[in-house]
Structure 1
Amino acid sequence: MKRLYRSLNKIIEAFLVLIFGLLVIDVVWQVVSRYIVGQSSSFTEEFARFALIWLTLLGATYINGMEEGHLSMDFLVSKLSPEKKRKRQRKIQWLMALFALVVMVIGGGNLVYTTSKLGQISPALNVPLGFVYSIVPVSGLIIIFFCLYHITITFSPKAHEH
């Protein structure tokens, strides 16, 4: 499980770098085409929007994969004893996994299904919107895996015995 966890983090990290690099190139091309060439490219705004969707969701997934990498207010949790803190962290991981299942996997899967069934295509890139939105349930599944990893490995009683 640890090997899959590390591999998945590396793959997501590389994909984030790729998306961010493409986004930078896209935005630079938009500026060049608009102000130097004098005619704006039709696909750059749409690509930037889709890249930001993927960058945001994969970035949240990546941060969730890192130990305690999610945004949280831990003032009260930091005052707890190590045992209570570990139990609280496990509860938080279960809640995040539940959220990812209900909202991202089920809700996102419904979004992908609906847009695919309706045959919605993006106007400039001519890409099926079901593909663009597919990152929502995929990110949800990865977040669930990361939560289960943290529950069983990071915040388990065995992890803090030595």
Structure 2
Amino acid sequence: MNKSEFIFNKVCLFLERFMIIVFGLLVLDVLFQVFSRYLLGTSFTWTEEFARFCLIWMTILGAAYLNGKREHLSMDFLYDKLNDQNKKKVSVLIEILIFLFALIVMVVGGLNLVYTTLHLEQLSGTLRIPLGYIYAILPFSGFLIMCFSIYHISNIYKNKINL
């Protein structure tokens, strides 16, 4: 195992464990909300917002994780009809497009969103957390997707990825 595979595996393992923790917190939060509503007769407003933030983080980190594992949704009807040389070219083109999307939309746009919300000191409704901290997952995941795309392109050229 070379250095890039080692780092790739460690990053994926970290993402898996972090998403398990976030999902566990989400489950506990929802269970607490149900418990408090039906057994205590009161509802806490912060549980809904916390669950929403957990779902945001799970979704965006999950997209980065699936991109890294190359398990994201794809329509491969036409791709399967290509020969191996053209599959290699199309795979590299797809990775470049994913890289550009992650760079422009997720990293640049996400950093702009984080900066704006922190500069304007916007806080969440009930938890009173600066929204920039919640939105920071967007550029972070975009950066991960960019790194995964570079990793995949190098593996495509090294013929380590099954086309």
TM-score by length of 2: 0.93
- Give the match for residue 45 of structure 1: 48
Which contiguous aligned blocks of 4+ residues in structure 1 show a shift greater than 2 angstroms? 157-160
- Give the match for residue 94 of structure 2: 92
- Give the match for residue 8 of structure 1: 11
CA deviation string 1:96-141 (max 9, x = no partner) = 0000000000001100000000001112112110000000000000
Letter matched to residue 74 of structure 1: D
- Give the match for residue 22 of structure 2: 19
Distance 1:159 1:26 in 2: 42
Q: Which runs of 5+ in 1 are unaligned?
A: none
Distance 1:24 1:99 in 2: 32
Letter matched to residue 75 of structure 1: F
Distance 2:45 2:19 in 1: 24
Distance 1:20 1:113 in 2: 27
Please provide the CA RMSD for this pair. 1.1
Distance 2:6 2:129 in 1: 34
Distance 1:157 1:14 in 2: 29
CA deviation string 1:70-102 (max 9, x = no partner) = 211001101111121121111100000000000
Once the two structures are TM-superposed, the CA of residue 159 in structure 1 deviates from its matched residue by: 3.3
Q: Which runs of 5+ in 2 are unaligned?
A: none
The secondary structure found in structure 2 opposite 1:114 is: helix
Aligned length: 158
Letter matched to residue 152 of structure 1: S
Letter matched to residue 82 of structure 2: L
2:66 pairs, out of 39, 45, 63, with 63
Percent identity over the alignment? 49
- Give the match for residue 128 of structure 1: 130
Distance 1:33 1:86 in 2: 55
